[in-house]
Amino acid sequence: MRLRILQLWVLALLVGVWYVLTAPGLIPNFYFEQDNRAAFFFGEPQKVFWVIVDWFATGEIFRHLAITLLETALGFVIGSAFGLGIGLWLALSPTASAVLDPYIKGFNSMPRVVLAPIFAVWFGLGIWSKVALGVTLVFFVVFFNVYQGVREVSPTLLANARMLGASPRQLLRSIYLPSAMSWVFASLHNAVGLAFVGAVVGEYLGSAQGVGYLILQAEGTFDINTVFAGILVLTAFALLLDSAVGAAERRLMTWQPRASETEKV
């Protein structure tokens, strides 16, 4: 509780500083020559707040938010599924992984955002070009974690399961998958963020709806308050998605010891 109060104080302080530095005529100018310049470049917190209230009151934001969230969710789910599947396959098949190794390294070191214009050509300006960008970003994060996770399965655990009579299929289900899961969840937090990046960057580069589109439009008219409003809304929803992943993780990973949990018999 004490911590929450301190955290709220930090927020209040930040908004306060923002307000004091940008409100026209409140303090003497020390950098800009005109009173309203600071507000022009950095927006004003109370105006940003009213833009957000207005979006939700009129319902204008929902259509855009729904599109962006849909792109994010699709990018996240498809990218993670591919990452998990291909990560498992390559980790369990040394030949395939040795053959594909340079290509994987190549794709991974490529700045994949440059693919966005190509995806726009291939998949059009609808949601799928954004989903495709999200998938390429999410895939590698999940893929490398699954690959690593499967590679680091304890050999003792594997030998034990084999001695207990597990078939290769049962080994996959009972040992490899659960063992890789903790790595997967660690990567999913990053993956959610990257799926968002894919969606919004895709929208910047060409779209007719979505929060990225709203931000781009506002930027075109130098409406900084709306740009900040869009950024804040995106951040809030990214946090929300991240906590959803966190909740799923806590539910599925009950077996993991937590730092606070030292109870033993």
Residues lying near another protein in the complex (CB under 8 A): 154, 156-157, 159-167, 170, 174-175, 178-179, 181, 253-257, 261, 263-265
Q: From the CB of 166, what's the least distance to another protein, in Å?
A: 5
Q: CB of 203 within 8 A of CB of 22?
A: no
Instruction: Give the number of other Cβ atoms within 10 Å of residue 39's Cβ.
Output: 18
20 versus 159: smaller Cβ distance to another protein: 159
Q: CB of 139 within 8 A of CB of 83?
A: yes
151 versus 162: smaller Cβ distance to another protein: 162
Query: Which residues are CB-contacts of 193 (< 8 A; sequence separation ≥ 6)?
Result: 238, 242
What span, in angstroms and rounded, lies between the C-alpha atoms of 206 and 129?
A: 10
Instruction: Give the number of other Cβ atoms within 10 Å of residue 173's Cβ.
Output: 12
Q: Is the dihedral of CA 17, 237, 53, 48 positive or negative?
A: positive
Q: From the CB of 258, what's the least distance to another protein, in Å?
A: 10
For 143, phi then psi, to 5°, come to: -55, -55
Residue with tokens 């105006």: 47
What span, in angstroms and rounded, lies between the C-alpha atoms of 137 and 196?
A: 10
Q: From the CB of 260, what's the least distance to another protein, in Å?
A: 13
112 versus 162: smaller Cβ distance to another protein: 162
Q: From the CB of 181, what's the least distance to another protein, in Å?
A: 8
What span, in angstroms and rounded, lies between the C-alpha atoms of 80 and 87?
A: 10
CA 185, 203, 188 angle in degrees (round to 5)? 0
2 versus 169: smaller Cβ distance to another protein: 169
Q: From the CB of 185, what's the least distance to another protein, in Å?
A: 12
Q: From the CB of 36, what's the least distance to another protein, in Å?
A: 60
243 versus 256: smaller Cβ distance to another protein: 256
Q: Please classify residue 6 by burial: count the beta carbons closer than 10 Å to its beta carbon, then call 0-12 exposed, 13-18 middle and 19+ buried.
A: exposed
178 versus 206: smaller Cβ distance to another protein: 178
Q: From the CB of 165, what's the least distance to another protein, in Å?
A: 4
33 versus 261: smaller Cβ distance to another protein: 261
Q: Is the dihedral of CA 33, 36, 42, 46 positive or negative?
A: positive
Q: CB of 204 within 8 A of CB of 217?
A: no
175 versus 192: smaller Cβ distance to another protein: 175
Q: From the CB of 156, what's the least distance to another protein, in Å?
A: 5
